[in-house]
Amino acid sequence: MDSKIDVNITFDENNQIRVLAADKYRETENVKSETIDFLKRIMSFNEMVTTLIEVLETQGEKIEDAKLKAVGARNKIEGEEDNRRKREQELKTLINEKRLLLERMTFEYESLQKVEGEQKSTIEKLSNNES
């Protein structure tokens, strides 16, 4: 293994020892600076995405609540329609029962009037015969 490693040891303008050449060091520092800027932008983007997700989740919850309220209101309305139909049917049945009762009572009244008329007639005949 006779491999030679080309190492240049230099001093920079601040008299610090550098293993890399000055131009390579500047490129490395530029890449480092760009990487830090990129990371900052990625972190900022990540914060915006997190905020957006939170807003969307909140809106989603509001939409779900509104959906549930709408479904509940629709069910209540449908239930009310059924209740009204039931109540209407009950009232119609009650009206028919009362109408039949009225007819029976009217018939009975007329029958009793006939009986009363016959009895008055009989009483009158008997009264006339006694005199």
pLDDT in tens, 1-37: 556 666 677 777 777 777 777 777 788 889 999 999 9
Is 29 among the domain residues? yes
Predicted confidence (pLDDT) at residue 60 exceeds the cutoff of 80: yes
Predicted confidence (pLDDT) at residue 61 exceeds the cutoff of 80: yes
Is 98 among the domain residues? yes
**127: confidence class by pLDDT, cuts 50, 70, 90:** confident
Number of domain units in the chain: 1
Is 85 among the domain residues? yes
Q: How much is the pLDDT for 5?
A: 66
| Apex 110 CA angle, 106 and 112, nearest 5 | 115
Is 22 among the domain residues? yes
Containing structural domain, residue 63: 10-115
**87: confidence class by pLDDT, cuts 50, 70, 90:** very high
| Apex 34 CA angle, 50 and 37, nearest 5 | 30
Average pLDDT, the chain: 89
Is 120 among the domain residues? no
- Cα dihedral 23, 25, 27, 31, rounded to 10, equals 180
Q: How much is the pLDDT for 118?
A: 94
Burial 93-103 (b: 16+ CB within 10 A, else e): eeeeeeeeeee
* Predicted confidence (pLDDT) per residue in 70-84, tens digit: 999 998 888 898 899
Is 128 among the domain residues? no
pTM, whole model, 2 decimals? 0.49
Is 56 among the domain residues? yes
User: In the structure encoding, which two tokens stand for residue 10, read together?
Assistant: 């230099």
Q: Are 10 and 25 in contact (CB under 8 A)?
A: no
